[in-house]
Amino acid sequence: MDAKDILGLHKTSFPSSIEKKSRPPKESQRKPDGISREVYALTGGMPPLMPSIDASQLKKKHNEKVTWQWLPFTNSARKDDLHLYHWVRIVNGVLPTGDYSFAKYNKSVDIIKYTDEEYEKYLTDPMWTKEETNELFDLCERFDLRFVVIADRFSSSRTVEELKDRYYSVLRAIVLARAASSGDVATHPVIKEPYNVSQEIERKRALSMVLSQTRQHEKRDEEVLIEAKRIAELRMASKVAEQSQLVVATNADAEVTERAVPGESLSPSNVQHPPMAVPSPITDNASTLASLRMLRVYLRTYALEQMVQVSNSTAGVRTIKRVEQTLQDLGVNLKPRVPTKAVCAEHLELRREILTWLNLQKQVQYKEAEGSSYRDGTYGETPDTPKDRTFIPDSLNFGVSGERVGKKDQKRKGHGAQPTAAHKRPRKQKASDL
């Protein structure tokens, strides 16, 4: 009859434990006392974490005489005079005293009530009629300041923030007016921290932005934050220095941090386009160097790592992998075996040159794709030529735009045949075509 029997599964799921303590619970699992096995199985087949009834109480001697009576009762939480009936436990002929036991849970918010004179004197507002204000307060009373419900029920369409603003302004005005002196109520929450509509609207908008952010934006924001954190750390290292050195370092870092911080605050509101202007590589190099000097002692390999990170910071993950693959193909160690100053410098330069090379490769691809669009006559239909595609001689900056353009193009597969057509056509014939 047991489901597990039918399935042929082993009954006890507990492995036999080493301690003796587990024995009694194991026993009760097989043979529950007091209730039938099927009923026990309804509770999940296992003893509950907390006993609902104190088992010892059941064994105690009951000296009192307990009877049950069907009696009427009233609920002080009700406004009407409803009489209902329920079973009452009578002990030795004595009725229990006190109010209905659930009446105490009837909590509500105390909404202020203003008089007409008070309204005329303190609460008039060009945006709100008296009727609307009265209706608002009535709803607040009914729904215990649940503004979402109130907004829903409100006759004219008002946003939650508007309603809140009106309610809190009225409350504030009344509290101030009724107070004997302004000092008395200075600690009242409405006085101390008044409701700020614009801030609230902004906050909720930002929240919804964060909530609806795609994973890609999350990743990008993370990268920005990591970059900013690294810059801040480098800044920390430089703060330990002497005066003259401090000036150099913080100037460089401040520039970089300034660019990073607006990037961070922009990104929640600017979901469409990657916001932050990439700090120029030269500045980043300088700040890394400055921070290395602040360390007073460091390992050459550490310095190389930092510089490699800097040059990688402007490139995407895929590009970095391609750089590393290229290094391997060229027979160069990813981490130099003999990292002397000269070797490290050469290694870095090589990495930069590879980046330039990869960017040029991409550029060639785009140029060719553009070329095919000219020929197809679809030139007018090209998806927005990305504005940041100006050919900047600085290869690292181009790496950014090249990288990002690549990503955008990949998304817009539907727009015209342009990118896909470029891939289908054999490229080698290009020069001979003309």
The footprint of other proteins (CB under 8 A) covers 242, 244, 285, 289, 292-293, 295-301, 303, 307, 326-327, 330-333, 336-343, 345-347, 349-350, 353-354, 356-357, 360-361, 363-364, 367-368, 370-371, 374-375, 377, 379, 430-431, 434
Cβ proximity to other proteins: between 371 and 416 the closer is 371
**Dihedral over Cα of 380, 382, 383, 386: its sign:** negative
d(CA 87, CA 322) in angstroms, rounded, equals 80
Exposed/middle/buried for residue 76 (C-beta within 10 Å: 0-12, 13-18, 19+):
exposed
Question: How far apart are CB 294 and other proteins at their closest, in Å?
Answer: 9
Closest CA to 303 of 354, 343, 263: 343
Question: How far apart are CB 7 and other proteins at their closest, in Å?
Answer: 46
Question: How far apart are CB 322 and other proteins at their closest, in Å?
Answer: 13
Exposed/middle/buried for residue 307 (C-beta within 10 Å: 0-12, 13-18, 19+):
buried
Two tokens, residue 222:
């993370």
Give the single-character DSSP code of 60.
S
Two tokens, residue 380:
């007018």
Question: How far apart are CB 387 and other proteins at their closest, in Å?
Answer: 18
Cβ proximity to other proteins: between 140 and 307 the closer is 307
Question: How far apart are CB 330 and other proteins at their closest, in Å?
Answer: 4
Per-position DSSP letters for 164-193, written without gaps between them: HHHHHHHHHHHHHHHSSSTTTTTTSHHHHS
User: Which residues touch 179 (CB under 8 Å, ≥6 apart)?
Assistant: 185
- CA diameter of the chain: 112
Two tokens, residue 21:
């303590």
Question: How far apart are CB 426 and other proteins at their closest, in Å?
Answer: 16
Cβ proximity to other proteins: between 101 and 328 the closer is 328
Cβ proximity to other proteins: between 175 and 327 the closer is 327
Two tokens, residue 357:
């090379």
Question: How far apart are CB 403 and other proteins at their closest, in Å?
Answer: 17
Cβ proximity to other proteins: between 343 and 417 the closer is 343
Long-range contacts of the stretch 198-205 (C-beta < 8 A, 24+): 200/161, 200/164, 201/161, 204/161, 205/269
Cβ proximity to other proteins: between 170 and 294 the closer is 294
Question: How far apart are CB 410 and other proteins at their closest, in Å?
Answer: 22
Cβ proximity to other proteins: between 263 and 281 the closer is 281
Question: How far apart are CB 289 and other proteins at their closest, in Å?
Answer: 6
Cβ proximity to other proteins: between 204 and 375 the closer is 375
Give the single-character DSSP code of 123.
I
Cβ proximity to other proteins: between 14 and 379 the closer is 379
d(CA 401, CA 139) in angstroms, rounded, equals 55
Using an 8 Å Cβ cutoff, are 89 and 66 in contact? yes
Cβ proximity to other proteins: between 167 and 398 the closer is 398
Two tokens, residue 45:
């087949």
Question: How far apart are CB 335 and other proteins at their closest, in Å?
Answer: 10
Two tokens, residue 342:
């000269």
Residue 118: count other Cβ atoms within 10 Å of its Cβ.
16
